[in-house]
Amino acid sequence: MTDGIYQPVPDSYFDIDNATKENGFTMPSDILTCSLLRTLATSKPAGKFLELGTGTGLSTSWILDGMDNDSTIISLDNDETLLQIARTFLGQDKRLDLVQSDGEEWIKSNKGQKFDYIFADTWHGKYLLLDEVLEMISKGGFYIVDDMLPQPNWPEGHQEKAINFVKYLENRSDLVVTKQHWATGIIIAVKK
Ligand SMILES: C[S@@+](CC[C@H](N)C(=O)[O-])C[C@H]1O[C@@H](n2cnc3c(N)ncnc32)[C@H](O)[C@@H]1O
């Protein structure tokens, strides 16, 4: 077995990838992670999805590709320039609600909502307001994060933060957690 992805990539993926490179965005989700996100998305028919950290919509395009027609996704980012790229290539998809908001503000005003699948790809819902976001996962729902393997650009102190974050997830009695040393380092947790 190799890491190759031999299934078709989402229609808009290469357009978004080109626009992302032109924009110079430095934090795009990698394609292996995206492929896993799509596979997991397909396991939640009629699911309610949440993505924290849209960026330019790379991961969003893969999640949408895995979702069925009865599913919906809210994806948010605080950077309108990045969101504009996602809007250009994905905005016509009626299942998608692209929201420009600060993560903290959005989470605090949407505490009552429940989701079957959360991809937490920004500070909030990962290193900030973690309990609030874990509370939003439905029973049997996924909580997914990437970028957990050490990276050369991590600022001083970030590795310790990451270690504590993983320990915290592993100690939660309401989560079943798997860590993967693959792609950028993935954690998949399911809510009991
Ligand atoms: C790792 S990137 C997301 C990558 C994206 N999922 C992709 O597929 O390329 C993290 C994102 O978090 C956003 N972000 C940073 N601070 C934020 C905040 N306070 N509220 C909302 N989004 C924020 C950044 O603009 C950036 O797009």
Helices (H), 24-157: 31-42, 58-66, 80-90, 103-109, 130-135
- The minimum-distance atom of ligand 1 relative to the CA of 20 is 9
pLDDT tens, residue by residue, 141-189:
999 999 999 998 899 999 999 999 999 999 999 999 999 999 999 999 9
The confidence score (pLDDT) of residue 158 equals: 96
CA dihedral for 188, 149, 171, 130, sign (positive or negative): negative
Specify the fold of 13-191: Rossmann fold (3.40.50)
- Tell me the percentage of the chain whose pLDDT exceeds 90: 99
Domain definitions of the chain by residue range? 13-191
pLDDT tens, residue by residue, 33-92:
999 999 999 999 999 999 999 999 999 999 999 999 999 999 999 999 999 999 999 999
Q: Is 58 in the pocket of ligand 1 (CB under 6 A)?
A: yes
State in Å: Cα 1 to ligand 1 middle. 32
pLDDT tens, residue by residue, 112-147:
999 999 999 999 999 999 999 999 999 999 999 999
For the chain, the average pLDDT equals 97
